[in-house]
């Protein structure tokens, strides 16, 4: 039994002592894709601990499925956008990120990105309408007497709902671009000299030019966020509340920010008492594989296996890429298990098997696993860290390229570019990661950091969710910075005041000196003249 498993049992035991038989009543904000995959195990744990959990689910959800059997309930609501429109936008975004971006200039990328984000924002607000502007839903939520709202803020508005319902709010967040939300709304300090902006692809070790770029990156992203996110949201919040409202300040009401990273994956940086780092919240030990899969894995002998998936969004790649990838895989001695729904590549080697779905975590935890080919999503990377498996990244979009930068910097991965790679690039990267000892050693070191902490991430998340319910908030962890303006925060008013005093004193000194000098010289002059007269 690993230390964190021991602790899990203990912590559950302890917290059980403080919780009465009928647990809390938790409302969960809607989310999507890997965010939802990440949220589900926490909800399962909360239900297992006697809490009632109800999840808001929009009619346009791609990943949440209210008909799937689960131990928590759903609260469905209608959205005025069609599921097709949402899916089309997602497809468009993926196509732009994976294929178009490499052939565009920075300016073109930015203009296209902002356009897509604007449409996404409009859709998000229409989803929000479905909750806040539906009398039926709001009545139900008010009557639901919830003790807490748990939200991944990637879809905005949860903070406004928490305020309207008058209940505490716990966030579960991977990151916002350039840590904009954490910095401005959560008051998280992030000096640009050693905290790389999220999505900048920089590390914490920056030379002068990188520090300049990081500084500009923060400024640029803050401007973009202001225009495509905050302006619209401020207007929306103000409309709903009927009074001028800052969405960022409302977001700052959150009692706890559960950040889905830890120092195995992230670079160390300053944080606040109400920020808890629970990276790998969804990780769990491997379960046995299906019989036929186990047989295939065992047939790999000492060479072992490679696990390959490009995540929940990308199921297929072009035929050309598929052939290239397959031919690279055919050249390694390992057996490969590839999650792929496209046409079977002509170059597929006998060592490679294609699956519509694979039990990724169970495969990564298998002793025969030598490497993981991944798109670089945080969930997959964390499972690899958990089990100590080195990685080859084929990052596609979003935070994936940056995630792979983290893993490369920590010496546990190599990366190849889907658009520019050749067969030998993938093959060589795989060979290096499998044969050079340092990758496995570093992956094991990250795994050791993951496991060797006082409490498992899921237990820590559950602890703080329950703490917030028990105490109806966590105000004692909230810094006073929330009450300051930006110039007060940076002591600019104090500096201006002290500078004014210093200038005044200098001026006074000069005036006094010149007055004395004039008096003195004047007298001397007079004396001299007097003397002269006397002479």
Interface with a second copy (CB under 8 A): 1, 3, 6-7, 9-11, 13-15, 17-18, 188-189, 191-194, 204-206, 208, 211-212, 215-216, 263-264, 267-274, 448-449, 452, 454-455, 459-460, 463, 467, 470-471, 476-481, 483-484, 488-491, 493-495, 497-498
Nearer to a second copy, 9 or 114 (CB): 9
Least Å distance, CB 200 to a second copy, is 14
Q: Is the dihedral of CA 488, 492, 493, 498 positive or negative?
A: positive
Q: DSSP letter at 370?
A: E
CB–CB of 382/364 below 8 Å?
no
At 207, list the tokens.
Answer: 């030379």
Q: What are the distances in angstroms from CA 434 to CA 131, 384, 438?
A: 50, 14, 9
Nearer to a second copy, 138 or 481 (CB): 481
Nearer to a second copy, 193 or 435 (CB): 193
Long-range Cβ pairs for the range 91-96 (8 Å, 24+): 92/116, 93/120, 93/397, 94/313, 94/314, 94/396, 94/397
Nearer to a second copy, 94 or 479 (CB): 479
Place of tokens 């917030």: 468
Which are the contacts of 70, defined by CB distance < 8 A and separation ≥ 6? 40, 44
Least Å distance, CB 496 to a second copy, is 11
Least Å distance, CB 371 to a second copy, is 23
Least Å distance, CB 210 to a second copy, is 10
Nearer to a second copy, 437 or 476 (CB): 476
Nearer to a second copy, 83 or 494 (CB): 494
Rounded (5°) CA angle 421-422-423: 125
Least Å distance, CB 255 to a second copy, is 12
Least Å distance, CB 272 to a second copy, is 6
User: What one-character-per-residue DSSP string does 304-349 give?
Assistant: -EEEEE-TTT-----HHHHHHHHHHHHTSSSEEEEE--SPPPTT--
Bridge partners of 415, per DSSP, are 393
Nearer to a second copy, 99 or 215 (CB): 215
Which are the contacts of 335, defined by CB distance < 8 A and separation ≥ 6? 296, 297, 299, 300, 303, 304, 305, 306, 351, 352, 353
Would you give the distance in Å from CA 58 to the centre of its chain? 22
Which are the contacts of 73, defined by CB distance < 8 A and separation ≥ 6? 52, 53, 54, 55
Least Å distance, CB 387 to a second copy, is 18
Nearer to a second copy, 10 or 503 (CB): 10
Nearer to a second copy, 74 or 463 (CB): 463
Least Å distance, CB 449 to a second copy, is 6
Least Å distance, CB 424 to a second copy, is 34
Q: Strands of 335-339's sheet, edge to edge?
A: 352-355, 335-339, 305-309, 369-374, 391-393, 413-415
């Amino acid at each position: 039994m690993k230390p964190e498993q021991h602790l899990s049992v203990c912590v559950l035991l302890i917290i059980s002592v403080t919780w009465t038989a009928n647990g809390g009543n938790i409302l969960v904000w809607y989310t999507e894709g890997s965010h939802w995959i990440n949220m589900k195990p926490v909800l399962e744990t909360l239900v297992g601990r006697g809490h009632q959990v109800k999840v808001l689910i929009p009619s346009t959800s791609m990943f949440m499925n209210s008909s799937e059997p689960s131990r928590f309930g759903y609260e469905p609501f209608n959205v005025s956008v069609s599921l097709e429109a949402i899916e089309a936008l997602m497809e468009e975004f993926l196509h732009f990120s994976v294929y178009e971006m490499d052939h565009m200039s920075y300016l073109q990328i930015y203009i296209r990105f902002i356009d897509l984000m604007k449409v996404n924002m409009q859709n998000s607000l229409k989803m929000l309408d479905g909750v806040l502007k539906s009398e039926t839903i709001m009545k139900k939520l008010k009557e639901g007497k919830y003790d807490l709202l748990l939200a991944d803020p990637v879809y905005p508005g949860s903070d406004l709902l928490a305020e309207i319902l008058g209940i505490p709010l716990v966030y579960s967040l991977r990151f916002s671009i350039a840590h904009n939300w954490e910095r401005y709304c959560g008051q998280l300090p992030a000096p640009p000299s050693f905290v790389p902006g999220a999505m900048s692809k920089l590390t914490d070790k920056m030379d002068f030019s990188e520090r300049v770029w990081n500084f500009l990156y923060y400024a640029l992203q803050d401007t973009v966020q202001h225009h495509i996110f905050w302006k619209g949201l401020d207007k929306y919040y103000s409309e709903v509340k009927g009074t001028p409202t800052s969405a960022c300040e409302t977001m700052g009401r959150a009692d706890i920010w559960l950040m889905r990273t830890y120092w195995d994956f992230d670079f160390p940086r300053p944080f606040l008492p109400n920020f808890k780092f629970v990276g790998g919240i969804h990780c769990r030990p491997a379960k046995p594989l299906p019989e036929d899969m186990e047989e295939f894995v065992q047939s790999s002998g000492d060479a072992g296996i490679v696990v390959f998936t490009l995540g929940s969004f990308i199921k297929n790649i072009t035929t050309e890429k598929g052939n290239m990838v397959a031919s690279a895989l055919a050249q390694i001695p390992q057996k490969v298990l590839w999650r792929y729904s496209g046409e079977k590549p002509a170059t597929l080697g006998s060592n490679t098997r294609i699956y519509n779905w694979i039990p990724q975590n169970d495969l990564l935890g298998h002793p025969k696993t030598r490497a993981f080919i991944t798109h670089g999503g945080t969930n997959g990377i964390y499972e690899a860290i958990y089990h100590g498996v080195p990685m080859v990244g084929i990052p596609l979009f979003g935070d994936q390229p940056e995630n792979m930068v983290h893993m490369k910097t920590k010496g546990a991965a190599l990366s190849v570019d889907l658009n520019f790679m050749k067969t030998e690039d993938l093959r060589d990267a795989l060979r290096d990661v499998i044969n050079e000892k340092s990758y496995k050693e570093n992956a094991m070191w990250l795994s050791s950091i993951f496991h060797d902490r006082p409490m498992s991430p899921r237990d820590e998340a559950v602890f703080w969710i329950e703490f917030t319910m028990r105490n109806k908030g966590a105000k004692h962890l909230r810094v006073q910075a929330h009450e300051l303006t930006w110039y007060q925060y940076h002591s600019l008013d104090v500096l201006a005041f002290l500078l004014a005093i210093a200038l005044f004193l200098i001026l006074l000194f000069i005036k006094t000196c010149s007055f004395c000098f004039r008096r003195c010289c004047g007298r001397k002059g007079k004396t001299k003249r007097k003397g002269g007269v006397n002479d």
